[in-house]
Amino acid sequence: MAAKWNLIVDIARCDNCRNCFLATKDEHIGNEFPGYAAPQPAHGHNWVDIVRKERGTYPVVEAHFMPTMCNHCDDAPCMKAAKDGAIRKREDGIVIIDPEKAKGQRQIVDACPYGAIYWNEERQLPQAWIFDAHLLDNGWTKPRMEQSCPTVAFRSLKVEDAEMQRIKADEGLEVLQPELGSKPRVYYKNLHLMTKCFVSGAVVMIVQGVEECAENAEVSLQHNGAEIARVTTDMFGEFKIDKLVPNSGRYRLVIKKGSTHTGAADFELAEESLYLGKINLA
């Protein structure tokens, strides 16, 4: 089998510097690459964009950033909508919207469920990120976005599909909207930072009449009568349990500190992460 290009994006590493956004614009605004892409307009197109997600409530709040772009799907909806061979899937996995054949085909923009294809009104042309195929075909080992990223949030690799699936399993990678069946070649690490919830709190206890932080207390999270997570509080008595499914209902926390202090807390998880505040051990 032929080796194909894939992109891994680590959301935990992205700090919203937007170098990837700027580098892609620098590469494509005003530059025509025949057979690959017409020039990107100076305004209105974000072939590489950043989605922002805030989780939690005061005093435990997080902000995370997810770079998005054309997913170069193996079963691309845009290819099904295109006419006259306007979109092709290369043997190396890269999807190219032909800058000549695709003219006038606005339905290609509407077909992308990820919103990654843009309409160039002046040229009457659908356009998207081409994985910088023109550079890879001339010896580059990575696209501009990866080359410009100071936090190493991107990792492009050209491997056979079986090897990519092994990497996906080993590193816990996910794709966007897998239920669509479009088979993206852009994989995300730590996608839970955008899609899941956490619960956190601070555990305290009374020792000789003085309230103290309950360090090294065991915190068990239970859902539908079964334990689904167990963590230990830090030196400040604080804990955090992540990767909870939004709107997943009722949970119970059972907390123990040694054999003498115990506590519990019940909560309902809706769409947002929760800070439970101070939990007192008896």
As for how many domains the chain has, the answer is: 2
The rounded distance, in Å, linking the Cα atoms of 48 and 21 is 5
- 169-178: average pLDDT: 98
The rounded distance, in Å, linking the Cα atoms of 236 and 59 is 14
Give the residue from 147, 166, 194 where a domain finishes: 194
Question: What is the bridge-based pairing of β-strands 186-189 and 4-10?
Answer: parallel
- 10-32: average pLDDT: 98
With 0.75 as the threshold, say if the pTM is over it. yes
pLDDT in tens, 35-91: 999 999 999 999 999 999 999 989 999 999 999 999 999 999 999 999 999 999 999
> Could you tell me which residues come within 8 angstroms of residue 248 by beta carbon, excluding any fewer than 6 positions away?
223, 269
185 & 235 share domain = no
Distances (CA, A) of 52 to 15, 47, 65, 182, 184: 10, 16, 5, 24, 21
pLDDT in tens, 197-210: 999 999 999 888 89
Give the residue from 161, 194, 227 where a domain finishes: 194
14 & 126 share domain = yes
103 & 159 share domain = yes
The rounded distance, in Å, linking the Cα atoms of 214 and 206 is 9
**Does position 119 have pLDDT exceeding 80, yes or no?**
yes
205 & 157 share domain = no
Terminal CA-CA length for the chain: 63
pLDDT in tens, 216-266: 999 999 999 999 999 999 999 999 999 999 999 999 999 999 888 899 999
32 & 117 share domain = yes
pLDDT band at 123 (very low <50, low <70, confident <90, very high): very high
**Does position 1 have pLDDT exceeding 80, yes or no?**
no
Question: Which letter, b or e, does each residue of 251-264 get, where b requires 16 or more Cβ atoms within 10 Å of its Cβ?
Answer: bebebbbeeebebe
92 & 188 share domain = yes
122 & 137 share domain = yes
Amino acid found at 62: E
Domain ranges, residue 219: 197-281
